[in-house]
Copies of this chain bind each other. A is one copy, B any other.
């Protein structure tokens, strides 16, 4: 990993309050090192300056990386193989300001984020959960984790905590996405729970070490919960709740939105019923969730990857465009691919990383080409 890029991304992760759509676009276009230097110097266009002006002089990337290391955490960036490129691609494709992609992610725990996100479902809901809701969240957490599916949630009290605990109870994978630094325990009563999650899964945040949780950050954080998972299940939610926001982010990101019903007499189920009436899938148990997020039969075979038969199945739209643009045998450079595919050059780069990880393309003397299958035929 290029130390310069890591320091640049660490600086960028602190310089703007997420979501920072202008900065994200600028970094994708200029690359992180140049972007960081120009942001620090103030040599940026107005929209980027508006997002970074207040904090651009706070230049402490090495101190943040050290603080993370001291807490057992690390910074992962789009340039890391561990970066969940396929999941994050949805943010880039949607292109909404509210759903700007994270510039980097601070993670604490032994697991690889890209692997955990390969087959992941978010289980979210109200803090003021009823005992019914907490029970169902725990059952879903256990049922999903037991089938090899990662349980993503926000570590809040109520539904979130029950979902994480359900996954941990069957020694399954779970990811907590925080609205504060990964070195902090919020809520304080979940300090032990967060330690348990960090011991086997991952605690994730886009806020640098020491970052404090704020009301706004919980809502902004919710887009990451939605985006890191293939689908989102709302277990209990009032009519106006953060879980509803997670569901609408999930919908915008093209994820499957699901909701658990409950008594019509319970205000904590009213948000779930509203979601179903608005088109969310009603689910009652983990089987139904897995059916909805994986192709038929995939979860039965125990395979962690929700992919179809062809290697190109499941690619995001931009990666698919870049793949299609590559000729069957000739190698092409990034600029040519951007012109041919119509995909911005910054996105071509991340698409190529995705395609390379899938074994669909290979890098060769500064250019890219389709990888040849064993029989000499291109992998299509």
Contacts and interface: CB of A to CB of B under 8 A. Distances in A.
A264 B260 contact: yes
A273 B284 contact: yes
A244 interface: no
Given A136-B264, A261-B262, A277 B281 contact: yes
A261 B265 contact: no
Given A135-B265, A265-B135, A284 B260 contact: no
A132 B265 contact: yes
Contact of A264 (B261, B264, B277, B281): B261
A282 interface: yes
A125 to B, nearest CB: 13
Interface in A19-58: none
A309 to B, nearest CB: 27
Contacts of A265: 132, 135-136
Chain B CB within 10 Å — which of A135, A136, A262 has the most?
A262
A270 interface: yes
A263 interface: yes
A357 interface: no
Copies of this chain per assembly: 2
A278 B64 CA distance: 51
A273 B261 CA distance: 8
Nearest to A270: B284
A277 B276 CA distance: 10
A285 interface: yes
A288 interface: yes
A281 B136 CA distance: 23
A137 to B, nearest CB: 11
Given A277-B281, A288-B277, A269 B264 contact: no
A263 B263 contact: yes
A290 to B, nearest CB: 14
A276 B283 CA distance: 10
Nearest to A277: B282
A71 B276 CA distance: 47
Contacts of A132: 263, 265
Contacts of A260: 264
Nearest to A132: B263
Contacts of A270: 284
A281 B277 CA distance: 7
A83 to B, nearest CB: 36
A264 B285 CA distance: 8
A273 B136 CA distance: 15
26 contacts: A132-B263, A132-B265, A135-B265, A136-B264, A136-B265, A260-B264, A261-B261, A261-B263, A261-B264, A261-B269, A261-B273, A261-B276, A261-B282, A262-B262, A262-B263, A263-B263, A264-B284, A264-B285, A270-B284, A273-B282, A273-B284, A276-B276, A277-B281, A277-B282, A277-B288, A282-B282
